[in-house]
Amino acid sequence: MTVDKSMAVKSNNKIEKQSVPEIEDGIEFHKGHTNILLIAPHGVETSPRDDIGTAELTRQIQAQLGCSAIINTKYRKPEGNEPKKRNNGNPRVEAKVLNLNLVAQAKQLPDFINKIKEVVNSPGVTYVFWIHGIADENIAEGLDCYVGYGQPNIGQDSRYTADGFTVSNLMTTFNKNLIIAYSAPKDSGYRGWSQRYMNQWFQLNNYSLTQVQSIQLEFKFSSIRKKEKIESSAQKIAIAIPALIKPVTEIEEAYNHIKRIFVKHFQNAMLEVGQYLIDKMYGSYESAIKKEPKGKKSLSKLAKRIQQDSQEKGNAPSRTWIYDAVNLAIDNHLYEQKALPSVYGQLGHSHKVNLTYFKYTPQKDDDKKKRDENRKKYLKIKKALVEEAVDKKHTVARFRERIREEKHKQDDSYIPIKEVMPLERLMEFTPEQLEKIKAKTIVMEAKVKETLNLYKGNLELILQALARKK
């Protein structure tokens, strides 16, 4: 049944128009006027229920955004929250038992699939948000939402359903609006990586990320989906989503599109390479942190081989990039996955790469106990640097400066050769250390002189050309 009337809904002191939904065979469809599509695949509102509160949460977000929304209000999952299986665990349309988050079962309901196509086949990119519910005991303490965008575990194929720029900004805007969101943990179905799940349906049907970006959102019950929380939660989500994706002008839209492509290629590639190398070369993050490769494998040999290829063909990453990738993956494991969920992810890519340079370098006379103690001390300081950078909104330049300051404090042998060296500081070094600093400085001076002579020669030629032209 289709109704063409419309009604006004108050949202953030503005009036938004929301079309009365079409409801056909238990699928509630709101036709919107933006490039956002919300889908609640487990929204049945009578007992027994699956993802409690997701239907009403989706309606209230839709009302404030004026976007499209599809809500399943009829079909229950074959295996629900209660011990007894529905229809003996057999998915069947006639029995009203289907899991509309599973591709194989969703296909049995053509109307559901067709409504999705109707929205995403419109011109431009469509942002699809799958609204799910997660039990309180299945989400890390202090978090409100897990975000899944097809992120793989180590050794798995890459199946990203949204680019890094979109996801990073989504979590940032969520956190700014007091919804603590974090990337879904590894080895969980919340990542939307499995091709069994509808988050991957667009990829399976050859939609590119310039056509559809799909994100699975798992919202906690007690802080988001509880009846008395839904209204305020919907307001926060409705503020966060358009702040992420709404282009201001055609120029801004083109700029953001190019930036998304660049960030996806560069940032995700570096992290994926680092994770792969840790798996292949070290076997575990603990071994990578201690620089203990497994077997006869050597990261330095691989880096040398890649460097050779880069010099010959010019199409391979640099040696430094390889080491940065491994260190970035280690930091991602230590801080995004463990110590600082929702904080580390707010750092920009350049901040994260600079952070990798703050690391403990064992000395020859350090025994195992001292090395372990120093590693722990550095990791603690590193954690504090991350929190400070996010709290004080450090620029990349300021963050780099703070890292140098902490290096100076922790490493008596550290000296910033490219900066002014106070005599008082130099007097703290031994003659042997001063000789090393002197040798480095002489080499750097020679390189600068060589470059300066090149510029002077070019300047003379430019002046001669100008004189002849006149």
Residues 73 and 111 in one domain: yes
Q: Are strands 68-72 and 6-11 parallel, antiparallel or unpaired?
A: unpaired
Residue 281 makes CB contacts below 8 A (sequence gap 6+) with 288, 293, 294, 297, 298, 299, 302, 326
pLDDT at 201: 94
Is residue 363 assigned to a domain? yes
Is residue 424 assigned to a domain? no
Residues 344 and 312 in one domain: no
pLDDT at 366: 72
Residues 58 and 97 in one domain: yes
Is residue 420 assigned to a domain? no
Residues 87 and 199 in one domain: yes
Residues 392 and 451 in one domain: no
Is residue 216 assigned to a domain? yes
Residues 155 and 227 in one domain: yes
Beta carbons within 10 angstroms of residue 206's beta carbon = 7
Q: What is the pLDDT along the chain (470 residues), one digit of tens a residue?
A: 333 333 333 333 333 444 577 888 889 999 888 889 999 999 998 888 899 999 999 999 998 888 999 999 999 999 877 777 888 888 888 999 999 999 999 999 988 999 999 899 887 789 999 999 999 999 998 899 999 999 988 878 888 999 888 888 888 888 888 889 999 998 888 999 999 999 999 999 888 888 899 999 999 999 999 999 999 999 889 888 876 664 445 545 554 554 555 455 555 677 877 888 888 788 888 888 877 777 656 677 777 776 665 555 555 567 777 788 888 888 888 887 666 766 787 888 888 888 888 877 776 677 788 888 887 888 888 888 888 888 888 888 888 888 888 877 766 555 666 667 778 777 877 888 788 888 888 888 888 898 898 889 899 999 999 999 87
Residues 321 and 391 in one domain: no
Residues 350 and 295 in one domain: no
Give the C-alpha separation, 297 to 318, whole Å: 19
Residues 174 and 221 in one domain: yes
Is residue 77 assigned to a domain? yes
> What range does the domain containing 140 cover?
6-246
For 214, the 3-state DSSP assignment is strand
Among candidate residues 231, 246, 261, the one where a domain is terminated: 246
Give the C-alpha separation, 385 to 335, whole Å: 11
pLDDT at 359: 77
Is residue 421 assigned to a domain? no
Residues 223 and 264 in one domain: no
Beta carbons within 10 angstroms of residue 457's beta carbon = 10
Residue 124 burial class via C-beta count within 10 angstroms: exposed 0-12, middle 13-18, buried 19 and up:
exposed
pLDDT at 398: 86
Residues 82 and 193 in one domain: yes
pLDDT at 278: 85
Instruction: Please report, for the domain that includes residue 111, its CATH number.
Output: 3.40.630.100
Residues 203 and 235 in one domain: yes
Among candidate residues 320, 336, 352, the one where a domain is terminated: 336
pLDDT at 297: 60
Is residue 419 assigned to a domain? no
Among candidate residues 197, 228, 246, the one where a domain is terminated: 246
Inter-residue contact 27 to 71 (CB < 8 Å): yes
Inter-residue contact 394 to 355 (CB < 8 Å): no
Q: Are strands 212-220 and 126-134 parallel, antiparallel or unpaired?
A: parallel
The number of folded domains in the chain is 4
Is residue 445 assigned to a domain? yes
DSSP 8-state assignment for residue 320:
H
What are the C-alpha distances in Å from 145 to residues 44, 152, 185, 276, 388? 21, 19, 11, 27, 24
Question: Among candidates 220, 200, 39, 238, which has minimal Cα distance to 139?
Answer: 220
